[in-house]
Homo-oligomer: A and B are copies of this chain.
Amino acid sequence: MKKKITIKDIANELGIHHATVSRALRNDSRISQSTKDKIVSYAKSKGYKLNQSAVNLRNTHSNEIAVIVPNISHYTFANFVSVITDLAARNNFIVSMFQTRENYEYEKDAVKTIMQNRVAGVIASLSLTTTDTDHFKDLIDFGIPVVFFDRVPLDIKAPKVTTDNYKAAYGCVNLLINKGFKKIAHLTGPLHISVFNERNKGYQNALKDHVVEYANNVVIPKEFEISDGFDAIQKLWKEDEKPDAVLCDSFTLSAGVNMFCRNQNIIVPDNLGIIAIANDPFSALLEPAQTIMSQPINEMAKIAFDLLIQCTKSEIIDVTKSIQPELIIRKSV
Contacts and interface: CB of A to CB of B under 8 A. Distances in A.
A160 to B, nearest CB: 21
A263 B325 CA distance: 28
Interface in A71-116: 71-75, 78-79, 81-82, 85-86, 89, 94-99, 101, 106, 109-110, 112-113, 115-116
A237 interface: no
A77 to B, nearest CB: 8
A167 interface: no
Interface residues of A, number: 58
A191 interface: no
Contact of A82 (B47, B96, B99, B141): B99
A96 B142 CA distance: 22
A249 B115 CA distance: 42
B73 A82 contact: yes
Q: Which of A49, A53, A117, A141 has the most CB of B within 10 A?
A: A53
Given A2-B143, A96-B95, A255 B285 contact: yes
Copies of this chain, tallied across the complex: 2
Contacts of A53: 53, 56-57, 62, 117-118
B52 A117 contact: yes
Nearest to A3: B143
A72 B89 CA distance: 14
A51 interface: yes
A211 interface: no
A259 interface: yes
A116 B51 contact: yes
Interface in A130-148: 138, 141-143
Contact of A73 (B2, B78, B106, B285): B78
B64 A72 contact: no
A84 to B, nearest CB: 9
Contacts of A125: none
Interface in A214-264: 226, 255, 258-259, 262
Nearest to A56: B53
A147 to B, nearest CB: 17
A99 B86 contact: yes
Contacts of A60: 4
Given A73-B78, A282-B285, A285-B286, A85 B57 contact: no
A281 interface: yes
A28 interface: no
Interface in A271-316: 281-282, 285-287
A19 interface: no
A82 to B, nearest CB: 4
7 contacts: A2-B141, A2-B142, A53-B117, A53-B118, A56-B56, A81-B97, A96-B96
CB-CB nearest 8 A-B residue pairs: A1-B143, A287-B287, A78-B78, A53-B56, A73-B82, A72-B82, A53-B57, A52-B116
Given A96-B97, A226-B285, 14 more contacts: A49-B116, A50-B116, A51-B57, A51-B118, A53-B56, A53-B118, A72-B72, A73-B82, A78-B78, A85-B99, A94-B113, A96-B96, A255-B285, A285-B286
